[in-house]
Amino acid sequence: MSERTCLHDVHVALGAQMGPFGGFDMPIQYAGIMAEHQACREGAVLFDTCHMGEFLIEGAGAVADLDTLVSCSIGSLQTGQCRYGLMCNPDGGVMDDLLVYRLDEQRFMLVVNAGTQASDAAWIEEHLGSDTTFSNLSADTAKIDLQGPAAPRMVKALLGEAIAGLKYYRFVQTAYRGEPVVLSRTGYTGEIGVEVYAAPDQAIAFWHDAMELGAEPAGLGARDTLRLEAGMPLYGHELTPQRHAGECGFSRAMAQDKTFIGSDVVCDLSKRQQALVGIQLEGRRAARAGDALCDGSGVEVGVVTSGSYGPSIGAAIALGYVDGALAEPGTALTIRMARSELAGRVTALPFWKQGSARKRIEGFLDAG
Amino acid sequence: MSQDDRKYAKSHEWAKPDGDVVVVGISDHAQQELGDITFVELPTVGQVMEAGAECGVVESVKAASDLFAPIGGEVVAVNDALEDTPELINQDAWEAGWILKLKPSDLGQMDALMSVADYDATL
């Protein structure tokens, strides 16, 4: 039996097609994946991301413990800043990818994937010192992503000036309908927007309020095409316990000036045999996870980890791992499927280069 | 409700006689289940196929689904418009979103397909 988020009844009332994801019964689509994808690129969409897990790590040992557990630098994180990092096993394999929020000097919130929440919690608790405490906030913390160029002005209408001046990967602790919320300028779409952490009642109210302002609901289908075009990894596809994190190439998530669990493997360049690359295909037909990547002479040189038609690209796109020598943009690759072959080329990420995610928020706060 | 001027296969293709050829597409129910269609692999004109043979692929954002010939015959036309606008199937699965035309080896094969009432009863 799948778990339900606090917004489950709302999705059903909106006519969403539901499906299982990470142990939850989640909306896959409402109006349709293409329409929802487009609405995020041009307007604003709402995603229910309550399935994700939130942990509170606090105490005098929190910085040191997190610096050991997570690949990104924790000590240099400022209060009000968040950072993307990986949690690795001793072999460098990825146990999860997550966001670390510095709430204050000795308090941190970790945001983790739904399917890995239980194993993450056990692993983290096992590795905390006696002066660090762990609490799992997931059951009482709802999360909604409001993404797209129209999102900032909706947030301004609902939460006021808290969003003014908010930079990429910064957050504020503010209030909504009288209750505390965390408003974070992050997301998984390549567009400007926020992730909102709130109590379930506030989250339901925020969902309805944002829809009143014109935000459209979007499901996991569009979430996947948007993140793929933005070149962002999906845990279980690009990132797995079996492949060490050094090969994924997210160097900004991996601090060079510290050690963390798995770092002797992850940071050893001689252990990086393959590299994660973007591949743009010649046609509309999509490669799918598990399809073989081959070089010009038909030799298998890698594997597709995600693939779909890219609605904003107008062609099929994919992410996959290839042998290091073939990772240069422009390299021709063949995708070998069960009954046919597709032609593609290694392409610099992100596929979608016009995204608004990193732009200054001031240009998005007033109705245009 | 499906259309009553044609017959149906269990795998959701429709077959509609038009003079001496039979037009083939997928049902409105099938396009709804697939969601936004992004690619259609069409057979080659001149290809001869048996009833039930794979004759193409319909792909949506979420999934790829094989297309099966509801009756045997020779492919005499394909809907080239689907190469650039596969969403025609989403917009109008019954007419503009037709996929191929077959010259049947034997029109009697139509009798083996389902009536609209029988098809709708399977949905």
CATH number for the domain including B92?
A: 2.40.50.100
Residues of chain B with a CB closer than 8 angstroms to some CB in chain A: 35-36, 38-39, 41, 57, 59, 61-62, 64, 86-87
Pinpoint the alpha helices (H) of chain A. Answer: 8-13, 33-42, 62-69, 117-126, 151-159, 200-212, 220-229, 263-266
Task: Give chain A's length.
Answer: 368
Q: Please determine, for the modelled complex, whether the ipTM score is greater than 0.90.
A: no
Instruction: Please report, in tens digits, the pLDDT of each residue of chain A (368 residues total).
Output: 799 999 999 999 999 999 999 999 999 999 999 999 999 999 999 999 999 999 999 999 999 999 999 999 999 999 999 999 999 999 999 999 999 999 999 999 999 999 999 999 999 999 999 999 999 999 999 999 999 999 999 999 999 999 999 999 999 999 999 999 999 999 999 999 999 999 999 999 999 999 999 999 999 999 999 999 999 999 999 999 999 999 998 888 999 899 999 999 999 999 999 999 999 999 999 999 999 999 989 999 999 999 999 999 999 999 999 999 999 999 999 999 888 899 999 999 999 999 999 999 999 998 75
Q: How many domains does chain B have?
A: 1
Structural domain for B94, as ranges? 7-105
* Residue B120 lies inside a defined structural domain of this protein: no
What residues of chain A lie within 8 A of the CB of B62, using their CB? Answer: 28, 33, 221
- Tokens 């399917």 belong to which residue? A115
In terms of Cα–Cα distance, which of A205, A151, A207, A202 is closest to A175?
A202
- Asked if residue B2 is part of any domain, the answer here is no
The length of chain B in residues reads 123
| Residue A279 to residue B13: CA distance in whole angstroms | 33
- A26 forms beta bridges with A19
3-class DSSP state of A228: helix
pLDDT tens digits along A132-144: 999 999 999 999 9
Residue B123 domain-assigned (yes or no): no
Question: Residue A312: its pLDDT value, please?
Answer: 98
How far, CA to CA in Å, does A81 sit from each of A60, A73, A103?
19, 12, 8
Give first-to-last CA distance, chain B, whole Å: 10
Q: Kindly tell me if the per-residue pLDDT of B1 is higher than 80.
A: no
Residue B48 scores a pLDDT above 70: yes
What backbone torsions phi and psi does residue A106 show, to the nearest 5 degrees? -120, 20
**Cβ burial, residue A130 (10 Å; 0-12/13-18/19+):** exposed
* Interface contact flag, B61 A225, Cβ < 8 Å: yes
Q: What is the pLDDT of residue A368?
A: 58
* Predicted pLDDT of residue A246: 94
Buried-state track A209-219, b at ≥16 Cβ within 10 A, e below 16: bbbeeebbbbb
Q: What is the pLDDT of residue B23?
A: 98
Report strand pairing: B73-78 vs A53-58.
Answer: unpaired
Q: Answer whether the bond into residue A180 is a cis peptide, omega within 30°.
A: no
Tokens standing for B51? Answer: 């009833």
- CA atoms of A173 and A80, how far apart (whole Å): 8
**Domains of chain A as residue ranges with CATH:** 8-50+141-229 (3.30.1360.120), 54-138 (3.30.70.1400), 273-347 (2.40.30.110)
Q: Is residue B113 part of a domain?
A: no
Which pLDDT belongs to residue B63?
85
* pLDDT score at A251: 85
Question: What pLDDT shows up at residue A340?
Answer: 87
Q: Residue B38: its chain A contacts at CB < 8 A?
A: 284, 286, 309, 316
Question: Does residue B117 form part of some domain?
Answer: no
From A219, A5, A304, select the one nearest B35 (Cα to Cα).
A219
SS3 content of chain B, % helix, strand, coil (to 5): 25, 35, 40
Of the candidates A34, A32, A28, A31, the residue with the CA atom closest to the CA atom of residue A48: A28
Handedness of CA A99, A103, A106, A107 (dihedral sign): negative
Q: How far is A73 from chain B (nearest CA, A)?
A: 37
